[in-house]
Structure 1
Amino acid sequence: MQTESKKKTGKKVKYSAWCMVVLLLLAGCGSGNQQAEAQSGQTAANAVADNQTAERADAGNRRQSSQTKDGASVSNQMQDAQTAQEADTGSKVEEVQTQEQNSQTAGAVQNNGGQTDMGLEQAKSVALAHAGIEASAVTFTKGKLDYEDGRQEYEIEFVTADTKYEYEIKADDGAVLKASAEPVEKISGNGQIQGGITLEEAKAAALAYVGVEEGTSSFTKLELDYDDGTAVYEIEFYADGIEYSFEIDALSGKVLEAEMENN
């Protein structure tokens, strides 16, 4: 009996030992799974953290790129505005310069030497006053601004029915620098030679040659002369600011010589 009891007891001990081994193995497997799960969770957490870091970096890059583009756009707008402002300023400067040039042409101005220019019309008035003649009684044949001995002066010429006047007027103060008056050279009577044309016919030939009407011209020379034994009419007149000089054959009325000078 004791022997059977011992055998049973031994079997129980062995069974208990196997149970303990199995439990220990199961416990070891559970711990390994927990460690694996913990490691897997840590790896996932690290991946999420890395993804968040990458997203933050990408967002930062996008913001920086946007700021750079915005800065470039603002810079371009500022440059465009500056260019437009400079162009507008240049146009205003050109406009002011044009107005100044027009003012110089129209009236009194300051020249490079600091002299005041009284203007052509005022210079004409000075010459007429010196000659004691009204403007309605004369025809101006020349009027221009010139330089003489480092000073500005106006050269003025005009004619009446029987006199030719020449003046030099100082441009800054209107002083009369030179004045002359010469009678217009005219032929007494018709001045016609035997078998030739009359003076009036010679005048008509000269006017027709240049297409000028007598009412718009002022004659300064009408003279019968001889050139190499040939009788010629020497005729000079002004029309529309141009001086004309003619030699007309006194017999045939042929134009022998014609010259013109724009004053």
Structure 2
Amino acid sequence: MKAMRLLMIGAIGCSFVLTGCGKKVTTEEARDIALKDAGLSEKEVRFTSEKIDDDGFEFSFHTDKKAYIYEISERGKIEEISTSNYTTPQNDKTNENQQTQAPSADKEAAMLTQEQALEKAIAHFKVDAAAITNLQIYQENDDGIQVYDVEFVYDGKEYSAEVDVTSGAITSSDIDMIH
């Protein structure tokens, strides 16, 4: 009887310990973990992608000089880090002394950036950029046309827009209620 009581007390104690260890982090906490590891503040970076799945989070962000991709587990552990050099897109202003670029270079210069696609989607939906969450932007081929698929959550709704990479036109958009 005494052994059974000790076994029960031990089992209950273990369950309390394991329950505390299983705390899942929020999106904001995971974002803070990535920023802290990178030695940056939210004011110093621009988030370009934020993905949440069943086992954690993936954040893509950049400064003026460096791009970061962080994968954070649902428990707050950094699973993977990827960094690369980043240059801020500049307006292509040709002065009189510069030679014109080759046609293929002009086409690349005319292509929208992810940030520009996000700006177009935000303007299209007329939402506050500072209040959007769960941002995801990726490029895909939609019926032979290169588009950015911009998705985010704002005010309890999921917004989605496809932005033509070449023209900047919104080719489709959708707003869904989150259940």
State TM-score, norm by structure 2. 0.46
Q: Which has the larger radius of gyration?
A: 1
Q: Report which of the two has the higher share of strand.
A: 2
Structure showing greater relative contact order (alpha-carbon pairs closer than 8 Å, 6 or more residues apart)? 2
State TM-score, norm by structure 1. 0.32
Q: Report which of the two has the higher share of helix.
A: 1
